[in-house]
Structure 1
Amino acid sequence: MSPPTACAFCQSHATQLCAGCRSVVYCSREHQKEHWKRGHKRECKCFELSSNETLGRHLRATRDIKMGEQIMREAPLVVGPKVASVPLCLGCHKNLLPPAKPAQNYYKCSACTWPLCSAECEQSPYHLAECRLMAGSNFECKINYKAAEQEHKESAYCVIMLLRCVQLKLESPAAFARLYELEDHLKERLETPLYQVLRANLITFIKTVLGLNNCSELEILRIAAILDTNAFELRQLGGCVKVRGLYPGAAMFAHDCVPNMRHRFDDDMNIVFLAKRPIAKGEVLSISYTQPLRSTIQRRVHLKQVKCFDCACARCEDPTELGTFAGAHVCGKCKVGKIISMDPLQLAANWKCEVCNLKRSAKEFLTQDAKIEQELESLDKTTPLSLEDFLYRHRVELHETNTHILQAKYALTQLYGHATGFAMDELSEKSLKRKVELCEELLEISNLFDGGWSIFRGNLLIELQETVLAQALSLENASECEAKLKQAAELLQEISNIMNNEPEMQQLLAERRQMLDAAMARYAVGAE
């Protein structure tokens, strides 16, 4: 289809294409602004809502999308504590620090007695309405420092976000309608032990303690299920804020175990979506609710438990997991083939060797796999030694790209250069080389599972760049040093591209540039 040639505002000849939707043109910047005010803001997007039996409602690209392009920015409809949370302020949502003296307690709201940062947060727009309700019902919050300690999670916070959703029904019916049309999976959730507890706690608090009768018991439970199905975990200020946010537009992104999108949160708690790779017109826009290094079994079980759906994406359907065999073990009989599921979308399916056809029952295989997973989880993660020992002991039964091996290797990339006794300036030449090998192996895997400008790939590149720079500074040969410095510079440029939209990473990037510039200058001086 040919691009339009008439200004969307005045219909005169125009060539300035709208950068957002690329479906209209303007003759001037002024007319673009006027057209935006007249309603184009609602229409200016590069995706459309679609629906099918497999994915339900989802978003598809209406044009080709460039890597790194921002696709959506959305403010939260509701924000609040997670179901179980460390003590936090209901005004600014920051984690509460322990009082200066052990005998002291948290600052308590003078009206409703919930812990807050200070009197200033009593007037927060997040807290005012709920405060009036709870204070009017003579509710008294029992959270205190002595009982909670600093890291203890309080289940009492489970009522707050739900209460804020219930208040939407009174204060903003249109916003509540957007919330209430989201998927809930309530039928599956009602059968879980968690919902048996929530059913009693939430309904008692909303209807009995607060006396709110504008929501039925079913509505209360459905709201809780909507939050569990659609809310995003929101982190800010270096981890000082850890809450949940509900974003109806963002909830329309499909899940895929090899997604093409990533998201972050800005200082105003808006969720922002970026394309991790080029996306063709017509492609489904997807994000992932799982970790990329986990196997199909691990991912699908997690998604079923947390999000109540069975993933059937291309990676999950493939018994080889895109050629990585992440969930497979080496065959104990032929010692060559890998034992893979005969139907990866069925947990009860048998497993067989791809070479000698040895078969194992699902129960037998999964029991063995679970034992290895538990062993890995129980290891001391403060030192590389136990993880290296794990890799050595399982070198025969687990191949190089098995999920347990990959997860151990990723943990090692974080320990070499950071763990006590293994700081970057303490690493031997052998350990530096080991870290480079680990990062490069995982980057190859990331290109399959979480490629492009993904945060996972960016974090691996950060570890690799620092290590390559350390190697360069340890070399005496000028040409070898120059080659390493050039590689470190190329890696830093790629990291900058990936992390360009992550404000919390800018200081680290600036420090890395200074270190690299100093190293370059030192080499240049030595060459003279």
Structure 2
Amino acid sequence: MSQVVYITVEPSEQTCVDGISQKQSGWIHEHLIESADPVKGRQFRASHHIPKGTCLLVDRPYAVIPVVDEPAVNDNLICNNPACNRRAPRAERYSCLNACIQDVAWCSSICKDADKSRHDFECTWLKRYAESIRNKLGEYEFGMLWLIVRLLATRHVELQEHGSMTGSQTRRFKHGWEAIDSLCGSSGTWSHDQVKSWTTLVKKYLKSSPALPHGLSTDRILHLICQEEANSFGLYPRETGHFPPPSPPIDRGEQFAAAVYPTAAIANHSCVPNIIHKPNDEGHMVFTASRDIFPGQECCISYFDLTQHSELDSRRGHLRKSFRFVCHCDRCVSEEPAEDTVEWSAMPLTDDTI
């Protein structure tokens, strides 16, 4: 049996009502604690009984990008201000004065002005590289690189405002850049060819320069890509993780954004999850207990839409391809043929589709 190290998390003074955070900094239930498993790494567990329907977590994204087709005419484009993330309807949106890319828009002049420092950091990079990256490498690679730039932009704003990346010693959960720096994922968990490809991208598009003045080494940016790819979430309009799926099944809809969350990224996957997750109107990731969770139980989400992969072979094939691990949850073990022996092979690694 794996040894579990419990790390108690103190509750904040915030409240969660109907899945909505009362403060933009986020909220976590007092009975949701962090623990560490020698094989799976960080995980959430319940310290006490948590009833079905309980809001467990409301986490603000550290960085988020829109993911929509034809952004200039798409009403699902989100506001570029990371403190807002609400939809920016075509008739009301404000665009970048430098016309960097059509994906960048704000829902109001107030949001645009509030986002000036962060967007100034990314604007020159977007103007110089976005079109060529999209044409040469495609939307997925562009989205990955842009999300890295937005992580660096938020870090840049933190440095401007606080002058330091040191976190509060009184918090049990890390926050800000300190939390991003502690996310799982490293070059050792990816294939040599993949790491080589990312290294080339870093040297060509993400090195520190006047267009992207982050001041970090090439190796650190490569490590940041490994962390982002292992921890980013896709944002969908409906919940992910209902089990059993409703009949007839209802999928989670079309992805409209991708984001990195400092605390939500701790959650591991199960094909029989006890948490459903969904972004609220402000882009915060909301975790809700989908059934009663008892003391000591791990609290898991599903990394993919369970309506799309119902059979064991389909689920495991998808997880191997997209998330780079073999699932050994109770459901998978109960459905596998008797002669098969499957073990966790690595930390769960993800793309931006959680």
TM-score between the two structures when normalised by the length of structure 2: 0.64
Q: 2:297 aligned with 1:283, yes or no?
A: yes
Report percent identity of matched pairs: 19
Q: 2:120 aligned with 1:132, yes or no?
A: yes
- Structure 2 equivalent of residue 445 of structure 1: none
Which residue of the other structure, out of 45, 65, 79, is the alignment partner of 1:60? 45
Which residue of the other structure, out of 109, 125, 128, is the alignment partner of 2:96? 109
Q: 2:146 aligned with 1:163, yes or no?
A: no
Q: How does 1:247-326 map to 2 (within 5 A)?
A: 247-292=261-306, 293-318=309-334, 320-321=335-336
Which residue of the other structure, out of 336, 339, 342, is the alignment partner of 1:342? 339
Computing the radius of gyration from Cα coordinates, the structure with the larger value is 1
Say if 1:234 and 1:135 are closer, same or farther in 2 by CA, change over 3 A: closer
Give CA-to-partner distance per residue, 1:51-95, whole Å, 9 cap, x none. 12232111111111111111111211221246xx63546844789
Q: Which amino acid aligns with 2:153?
A: Q
Which segments of 5 or more consecutive residues in structure 1 lack a partner in the other structure?
A: 1-20, 24-40, 99-106, 322-339, 347-528
- Is the Cα contact below 8 Å between 1:227 and 1:246 reproduced in 2? yes
Say if 1:259 and 1:63 are closer, same or farther in 2 by CA, change over 3 A: same
- Is the Cα contact below 8 Å between 2:29 and 2:56 reproduced in 1? no
Superposed CA RMSD in Å reads: 4.1
Alignment partners' CA distance in 2, 1:141 and 1:314 = 45
Q: What is the SS of the residue equivalent to 2:36?
A: strand
Give CA-to-partner distance per residue, 1:157-196, whole Å, 9 cap, x none. 4332111211333332241111010101432335354x54
Alignment partners' CA distance in 2, 1:122 and 1:266 = 21
Alignment partners' CA distance in 1, 2:205 and 2:305 = 35
Alignment partners' CA distance in 2, 1:125 and 1:201 = 31
Say if 1:344 and 1:121 are closer, same or farther in 2 by CA, change over 3 A: farther
- Structure 1 equivalent of residue 15 of structure 2: none
Say if 1:142 and 1:256 are closer, same or farther in 2 by CA, change over 3 A: closer
Structure having greater relative contact order (Cα 8 Å, sep ≥ 6): 2
Which segments of 5 or more consecutive residues in structure 2 lack a partner in the other structure?
A: 1-8, 12-25, 72-76, 159-164, 168-175, 239-251, 344-354
Q: What is the SS of the residue equivalent to 2:256?
A: strand
- Structure 1 equivalent of residue 69 of structure 2: 86
- Structure 1 equivalent of residue 235 of structure 2: 234
Q: 2:12 aligned with 1:50, yes or no?
A: no
Q: Which amino acid aligns with 1:79?
A: V
Alignment partners' CA distance in 2, 1:154 and 1:288 = 21
Give CA-to-partner distance per residue, 1:456-489, whole Å, 9 cap, x none. xxxxxxxxxxxxxxxxxxxxxxxxxxxxxxxxxx
Q: What is the SS of the residue equivalent to 1:254?
A: coil
- Structure 1 equivalent of residue 173 of structure 2: none
Q: What's the offset of the Cα at 1:120?
A: 5.2
Alignment partners' CA distance in 2, 1:138 and 1:257 = 38
Q: 2:189 aligned with 1:188, yes or no?
A: yes
Say if 1:67 and 1:119 are closer, same or farther in 2 by CA, change over 3 A: closer
Alignment partners' CA distance in 2, 1:235 and 1:224 = 22
Q: Which amino acid aligns with 1:294?
A: S
Q: How does 1:76-475 map to 2 (within 5 A)?
A: 76-81=61-66, 86-88=69-71, 91-92=79-80, 109-111=96-98, 113-115=100-102, 116-117=104-105, 124=112, 128-134=116-122, 139-140=127-128, 143=131, 153=139, 155-172=141-158, 173=165, 174=167, 175-193=176-194, 195-207=195-207, 208=209, 210-212=211-213, 214-236=215-237, 242-292=256-306, 293-318=309-334, 320-321=335-336, 340=337, 342-345=339-342
- Is the Cα contact below 8 Å between 2:49 and 2:293 reproduced in 1? yes
- Which consecutive segments of 4 or more residues in structure 1 shift more than 6 A? 93-98, 237-241
More helix by share: 1
